[in-house]
Amino acid sequence: MRGRCVAGLRVDRMGWVRPIASDTDHGQLYSTHYGLNDGTVPEVLDVIGLDLAAYRPMPGQPENWAISNKPWVLVSRPTGPDLYGILRSALEPGPSLLGSFDKRISADLAVQLNASLALIAPSKMRWFVGRDLYGHSQARVLFEMNGQSYNLPITDPAWTSRIVRRCSLLENGPHPREAIGISRASKVLLTVSLSEAFNGYCYKLVAGIVVIHDF
């Protein structure tokens, strides 16, 4: 819908929130919704204050909250170590990820889940470039989660073009995380989200790549 999906963990440890707009067809957000008071837009690890007007869960997306028309406020950038405990407590151990061991789940099962977002600390990560349904280049990541292997597309706008560009300069095949400029000493977390239903399935997407140097 040419909009954005934004989600985050509440600092009061009450779990995930996916803010949605009441004036768009699918709740997608545009810059007029998510623009911050300093003129920038939300980034991974920002602490943001925003007004949640009403709880608006949707089938398969229980974290949804409708936002008011009040501006979003940048509290701090990036999150400091004092809030890392929130990230650690939110980590999903696996091996199952959002209801299955596959890259997708049926739409019928998705509506029964109590979460459509998950924060994970993957192991054995490797990046590569695949093709989407329309034949376009698609950034993807291979990883393991408590021994279970996954192969998922990446939709994080801060990383997709970077991964495609850097991996395209290398030989075909998966590449280590250093290939896109992430040091081995850094901790990498992934935010995985379920897509809306498409042809009867909801697909798992890596919606956020979180790189922390002192986690």
- Three-state DSSP at 33 gives helix
Looking at the structure, tell me whether residues 62 and 110 fall in a common domain: no
**Residue-wise burial string across 121-137, b where 16 or more C-beta atoms lie within 10 A, e elsewhere:** bbeebbbbbeeeeeeeb
**Residue in this structure with the two tokens 């597309």, named with its chain if needed:** 153
Looking at the structure, tell me whether residues 71 and 99 fall in a common domain: no
Alpha-carbon distance of 95 to 86, in angstroms, equals 21
On whether residue 115 sits in a domain, the answer given is yes
| CB-based burial label for 113 (10 Å; 0-12, 13-18, 19+) | middle
H or E segment at 87? helix 84-90
- Three-state DSSP at 97 gives strand
On whether residue 150 sits in a domain, the answer given is yes
Alpha-carbon distance of 101 to 83, in angstroms, equals 30
Q: Report the domain count for the chain.
A: 2
Looking at the structure, tell me whether residues 198 and 110 fall in a common domain: yes
Q: Are 205 and 152 in contact (CB under 8 A)?
A: yes
Provide the pLDDT for residue 38.
Answer: 95
Beta bridge partners of 196: none
Q: Are 163 and 153 in contact (CB under 8 A)?
A: no
* Residues of the domain holding 41: 8-79
Looking at the structure, tell me whether residues 102 and 166 fall in a common domain: yes
Looking at the structure, tell me whether residues 111 and 30 fall in a common domain: no
Q: Are 10 and 90 in contact (CB under 8 A)?
A: no
Looking at the structure, tell me whether residues 101 and 63 fall in a common domain: no
Query: Judging by DSSP bridges, how do beta strands 16-20 and 64-67 pair with one another?
Result: parallel
| 34, 58, 79 - which closes a domain | 79
Six-digit token pair at 179? 């290939």
Provide the pLDDT for residue 86.
Answer: 95
Provide the pLDDT for residue 133.
Answer: 82
Per-residue pLDDT of the chain (215 residues; tens, 9 = 90+): 678 999 999 999 999 999 999 999 888 999 999 999 999 999 999 999 999 999 999 888 999 999 999 999 999 998 989 999 999 999 999 999 999 999 999 999 999 999 999 999 999 999 999 888 888 889 999 999 999 999 999 999 999 999 999 998 888 889 998 999 999 899 999 999 999 888 999 999 999 999 998 88
Alpha-carbon distance of 161 to 180, in angstroms, equals 11
Looking at the structure, tell me whether residues 112 and 50 fall in a common domain: no
Looking at the structure, tell me whether residues 97 and 75 fall in a common domain: no
Provide the pLDDT for residue 178.
Answer: 92
Looking at the structure, tell me whether residues 152 and 129 fall in a common domain: yes
